[in-house]
Amino acid sequence: MKILVCISHVPDTTSKINFTDGDTKFETNGVQFVINPNDEFGLTRAMWFKEKQGATVHVINVGGPETEPTLRKALAIGADEAIRINTPATDGFSVAKQLANVAKEGGYDLVIGGRESIDYNGGMVPGMMAKLIGANFVNTCIGLEIEGDKATAIREIDGGKETLKTSLPLVIGCQKGLVQESDLRIPNMRGIMQARSKPLNVKEPIASNAETNTVSFEKPAPKGAIKLVDTVDELISLLHNEAKVI
């Protein structure tokens, strides 16, 4: 089984975020970048298929050379090969088109992508990839088993879970639950050394027009002042007379 795991290069959530050029560009200086958390759950599940079923695992990213450390981390975790499509990730459709082209050429049985990235939260790339590839698609996936060319997937729905049976090729949009946080892997020294010799192939992009563009960014409003109260009566009075919630 050949598995392709899509890796987004995203800012660490602890980073301080700023914008430049009149709030039209993201300031990357001083920002630590990591594997998108939803993608990391997918990569961990792919490693399970590699170890239990002998799957081959490739990771892929759309971006410039600055994203290669993130791909190298995925290789250190255990992926066999990395692919970087040499173009900025400008919008969801163009990213999906670039990824789908490689997925079709590579003949992958399973394509794993995070449900959404934590930077833009678009939640669109896996579904568009599935359409472009002509593969089955399961979103919000929190469980996946594969036997031969058949897959059993569990996805989160409003108020519960849904179990689906489908066939390969398959694209999933995964999230926490596909594996648990305790299952995530930290690269060890042996993995880091091996990652240096694993192939990281750079592919030039196919022609694609961006369907959307970012006009400007805006930070959330700062938190308001906190008022401390000493008694329950004072709290009730403030909720009734000031906050108007009771």
> What's the pLDDT score for residue 164?
97
Question: Does residue 233 lie in a domain region?
Answer: no
Angle, alpha carbons 63-64-70 (nearest 5°): 70
Question: Does residue 92 lie in a domain region?
Answer: yes
Question: Does residue 156 lie in a domain region?
Answer: yes
Question: Does residue 188 lie in a domain region?
Answer: yes
Query: Residue 215: which domain range?
Result: 2-221
Question: Does residue 196 lie in a domain region?
Answer: yes
Kindly report the pTM of this predicted structure: 0.88
> What's the pLDDT score for residue 84?
98
CATH number at residue 130: 3.40.50.620
Question: Does residue 29 lie in a domain region?
Answer: yes
The secondary structure element, H or E, covering residue 131 is helix 125-133
> What's the pLDDT score for residue 200?
97
> What's the pLDDT score for residue 214?
84
Residue corresponding to tokens 């939260």: 121
**Rounded distance, CA 213 to CA 86, Å?**
19
Quick one: tokens of 207?
């022609």
The one-digit pLDDT tens for each residue of the chain (246 residues) are 999 999 999 999 888 889 999 888 889 888 999 999 999 999 999 999 999 999 999 999 999 999 999 999 999 999 999 999 999 998 999 999 999 999 999 999 999 999 999 988 889 999 999 999 999 999 999 999 999 999 999 999 999 999 999 999 999 999 999 999 999 999 999 999 999 999 999 999 999 888 888 889 988 888 888 888 889 999 998 888 888 888
- Number of structural domains found in the chain: 1
Question: Does residue 166 lie in a domain region?
Answer: yes
Question: Does residue 110 lie in a domain region?
Answer: yes
| Phi and psi angles of residue 216, each rounded to the nearest 5 degrees, phi first | -165, 160
